[in-house]
Amino acid sequence: MKFTFRIKYRTVWGESLRVMINDEEENSLALFTRNGDEWQGTFNAELPDTPDIVSYRYGVFRNGVCIRKEIGAIPHFIIKGNAQLNHCIINDCWRDLPTNNHLYSSSFNNIPHSEHPRILPDSIGSCITFRALCPALRHKVQELGLIGNCDSLGNWEHCRPLKMQEIYPCVWQITIDASTLKFPFEYKFVAISSKTGAVEKWEEGNNRVFNTQPLLRGETYFTKESEIFNSDSGKKLAGSAIPVFSLRSEGGFGIGDFGDLKKYIDWAAFTHQKAVQILPINDTTKDYSWNDSYPYSSISIYAFNPIYIDVRQLPALKDSNKAQEYERMRISLNSLPQIDYEKVYKVKRSLLNDIFEQEGNRILSSDGFSDFFTKNKDWLKPYAVFSYLRDIYGTPDFYRWPEYSIYNANDTERLCAEGSAAYHKITFYYFLQYILHIQLLDTANHARMKGVILKGDIPIGISRGSVEAWVEPYYFNMNGQAGAPPDAFSTNGQNWGFPTYNWEVMEKDNYLWWRRRFAKMSEYFTAYRIDHILGFFRIWEIPTHSVHGLLGQFVPAIPMSADEIKGFGLNFNEELMTEPFINDYMLNVIFGDKSDDVRTIFVEKTHDDIYKMKREFDTQRKIEAYFGGKNDKESISMKEGLYSLISDVLFVRDRKNPAVYHPRICAQNDYIYRQLNWHEQEAFNRLYEHYFYHRHNEFWYAEAMKKLPVLTQSTPMLVCGEDLGMVPECVSWVMNYLQILSLEIQRMPKDPKDEFGQLQNYPLLSVCTIGTHDMSTLRGYWKENPSITERYYHHELDHWGDVPAEAPGWLCKDILKRHLSSPSLLCIPTWQDWTSIDEKLRNPDIETERINIPANPHHYWRWRMHISIENLMKEDSFNEEIIKLIEESGR
């Protein structure tokens, strides 16, 4: 079979263009050019035996290495059966992401494609294949068609267009016998009724003209792909955000589950919402305590938390006495205003274990489980063994295990063998994950059927005590801690404790670890939020000896030499500027009447009134260990004060090369900065501005573009990025190019000149909300800072008179209405902020509605809805108000 590929693409000296069949770089086909702009190549090639459709992409190569390739989830396609003639002539355009790429995502195209390509008969002498990308048709109601000015194309008669085939979601083709066409001819793409076949919508613009000379016998000509009907960005949507654990139902177990999520989706659809956003749902089980409530510290990126199993969907216990006792405990736990995580997990796990003993053999021998196990065993078996060993040794910290601390695949196979002593306990975890899979899949399919986007959450980090850290340690840097620099959430920064990623190793297999993770998620979700998308540009890495985040540095980053620092006009002194500055004044101000205790126990004098930390207390971790579990107010105050002494430096040494340096984040707020004279302060400020806001833009852009194009286009899910915090300019470059939806929050404006975000200026490709799980609710925010509230009320909302002490329903409704009217594609307020508009319905206890406090690394995540979903469905006035708000906003 002969193939000729033609494409226009401007290259520079030393670059060449190649065609990669099925994305295979090693066996790519080299094209040739005479002018560096028009490329062509003819090859005798055999297409792969399967499947019926073969994909290909173009790539730019230099010295045999692919340095750039077409991105996007949709490659080019050839239908093998229609390429059975002697010669295929393929005309292409380089394609990255199509216009309004979100319309091609599974959020807007959630009907699986199942149409098989039509094959032309062998007797045809030559033919033309017309190709188009079209995302905007109404599913099951419209299809794409072709119509033109000759009889075989329908003679422009609206009832005679040719129906095209959707060979892949949003990809349409039709192959026509060239002998039936009269050259040259005119044509258009049209939307046709699936029922009648008649034209319902015409392609805008001038008629297309086909001028190519008649084809030779045995030739198939492929037209350039056209983007059709995607100039309209689609209807903006509204939704709500709520964690699964916060859901409450009449038959619940004291915590939300996947069955409750299905009910909540029904309520969302009933009130005309088109999106439901949840927090991470992966297994976080470490010690079976309330600490496991933190959803961003999972022990597996694949396994779900067993606490989310809906036991109502499982077979009833045959032991009636046990069943009655469990029901009594369920009712008690479900009556609690907040989650009692430890009791819920203990009771629910016991019940699940009893059901496993009763039904496990039957379920694990089913065809459904067999299929699930075959597809998931690569992660399921290590996870089950990890969970078994965690239970035996009482900790997920595998490096503390007396045996199996270093992962060995043979050990896993031996423990998972049917005759092993551990087999029964290991299969319990198989059972749990299979039940979770079928329940979440059922809920996900229900959301698709209802036309509701189910939006998941991908945490940026993994736990140190996790399956992935145990099985694949080479992907991680275990000697650092991931976190975030100081921001509105935490003045000392956030220390999440997660290991950072070894991106150099991940790049070698084209980020396979991430692609597998995203692929698993796409089985259930049609959209996802990338938690802390800034981590794909650079991560804030904190040394393991630190508790707070102030002594961290961005990784990767370009450190500064002593000479470069001096070049900004600052007389750099390594000893004075990289070691903590401590004097009597600081000790008196920070510790008051306890300052002498600090002088006696923790510091030693070096000269005059200058001190240094004693060696046994010279890191924050050593201070933390000294105070142990002391949680009284005095101990906490003393400990935090000592932490601040240790972080009182102007520069931190580079993690790999101690001879180069990074300016310490927010050093201007500390005592050492105040010791500089005004000239030195101005020099440091110039250096600081350059380093944090200008120095790395191109560098971090390149880092992100290595990863994000591969990852975001590896699945059809709609991609949303959480881009809050200290955001460099390059982040918007990448997100705009890849059409990743940004997160817009009025109280955290992107423009530093604004105190409040300007709703009318939000970009289309964004998710707008009033607040997130890391923030106070709208009503909580209203009470936090009276001066900010006053400016917001009078200057931003343009209301007159006295500022209400608490946000009344009419005001919450006004704020919500303004957000719904923004240009953002998605408006997804939290459920708490939706209910704030109804003074009779909303929770009178404002503080309990807050989900997380980022400044507290040991926060208990336990908020629950104060009414059940069943009763929520009966709140006619409230539900009608939501419908009205959404409809009036045009969403």
Here the tokens at position 504 are 């150099």
Res 861 pLDDT > 50? yes
Here the tokens at position 162 are 């040719």
Burial 250-286 (b: 16+ CB within 10 A, else e): ebbbbbbbbbbbbbbbbbbbebbbbbbbbbbbbbbbb
CA–CA separation, 545 and 856 (whole Å) = 19
CA–CA separation, 189 and 208 (whole Å) = 9
- The kind and range of the H/E element at 698 are helix 697-712
CA–CA separation, 537 and 576 (whole Å) = 32
In this prediction the pTM is 0.92
pLDDT band with cut points at 50, 70 and 90 for residue 137: confident
Give residue for tokens 């095209």: 164
pLDDT at residue 78 in the model: 87
pLDDT at residue 853 in the model: 92
* φ and ψ of 203, to 5 deg: -60, 135
Summarize the confidence of residues 479-505 as an average pLDDT: 89
Dihedral sign for Cα atoms in the order 692, 698, 701, 703: negative
Give 401-413 pLDDT, tens digit per residue: 999 999 999 999 9
End-to-end, the C-alpha distance of the chain in Å comes to 51
Q: Are 236 and 418 in contact (CB under 8 A)?
A: no
Q: Are 847 and 806 in contact (CB under 8 A)?
A: no
CA–CA separation, 665 and 683 (whole Å) = 15
From 779, 719, 588, 572, select the one nearest 659 (Cα to Cα). Answer: 572
pLDDT at residue 440 in the model: 98
State what percent of residues in the chain have pLDDT above 90.
86
| Angle between helical axes of 423-450 and 258-270 (0-180°, round to 10) | 0
* φ and ψ of 766, to 5 deg: -155, 160
Alpha helices (runs of H) in 394-422, residue ranges in sequence order: 409-416
Summarize the confidence of residues 159-171 as an average pLDDT: 93
Q: Are 300 and 281 in contact (CB under 8 A)?
A: no
Dihedral sign for Cα atoms in the order 506, 511, 514, 517: negative
Res 223 pLDDT > 90? yes
- Look up residue 304 and give its DSSP letter: B
Res 112 pLDDT > 60? no
Encoded amino acid at 190, one letter: V
Res 334 pLDDT > 50? yes
Beta strands in 572-634 (DSSP E): 582-583, 603-607, 610-613
CA–CA separation, 489 and 851 (whole Å) = 13
CA–CA separation, 263 and 868 (whole Å) = 10
CA–CA separation, 753 and 768 (whole Å) = 19
Other Cβ atoms within 10 Å of 694 Cβ, number: 11
Encoded amino acid at 238, one letter: A
Helix, strand, or coil (residue 273): coil
Q: Are 38 and 12 in contact (CB under 8 A)?
A: no
Dihedral, 259, 263, 266, 267 alpha carbons, nearest 10 = -150
User: Beta partners for 78?
Assistant: 54
Give 666-677 pLDDT, tens digit per residue: 999 999 999 999
Summarize the confidence of residues 519-540 as an average pLDDT: 96
Summarize the confidence of residues 143-166 as an average pLDDT: 95
- Look up residue 751 and give its DSSP letter: S
| Angle between helical axes of 729-737 and 697-712 (0-180°, round to 10) | 30
Angle at 368 between CA 364 and CA 373, to 5 degrees: 65
Count of residues in the chain? 891
In a 10 Å sphere around its CB, with 0-12 CB exposed, 13-18 middle and 19+ buried, how is residue 434 labelled? buried
Angle at 382 between CA 376 and CA 384, to 5 degrees: 85
Other Cβ atoms within 10 Å of 218 Cβ, number: 15
CA–CA separation, 729 and 750 (whole Å) = 10
- Half-sphere exposure (Cβ direction) of 166: Cα atoms closer than 13 Å: 19
CA–CA separation, 821 and 837 (whole Å) = 16
Give 228-282 pLDDT, tens digit per residue: 987 666 789 999 999 999 999 999 999 999 999 999 999 999 999 999 999 999 9
CA distances from 567 to 331, 686, 688, 691, 885 (A): 69, 11, 13, 13, 58
- The kind and range of the H/E element at 499 are strand 494-501
Here the tokens at position 320 are 């009636």
pLDDT at residue 114 in the model: 46
> Percent helix, strand, coil in the chain (nearest 5)?
40, 20, 40
- The kind and range of the H/E element at 348 are helix 341-364
CA–CA separation, 153 and 69 (whole Å) = 36
Contacts of 727 (CB under 8 A, 6+ apart): 534, 750
Lowest mean pLDDT across 136-140, 226-230, 571-575, 849-853 = 136-140
Helix, strand, or coil (residue 828): coil
Angle at 312 between CA 311 and CA 318, to 5 degrees: 80
Here the tokens at position 187 are 């044509």
CA–CA separation, 212 and 603 (whole Å) = 86
Give 712-745 pLDDT, tens digit per residue: 999 999 999 999 988 999 999 999 999 999 999 9
Give 768-793 pLDDT, tens digit per residue: 999 999 999 999 999 999 999 999 99
pLDDT at residue 119 in the model: 54
CA–CA separation, 869 and 208 (whole Å) = 54
Q: Mean pLDDT of all residues in the chain?
A: 93
CA–CA separation, 493 and 532 (whole Å) = 14
CA–CA separation, 495 and 464 (whole Å) = 13
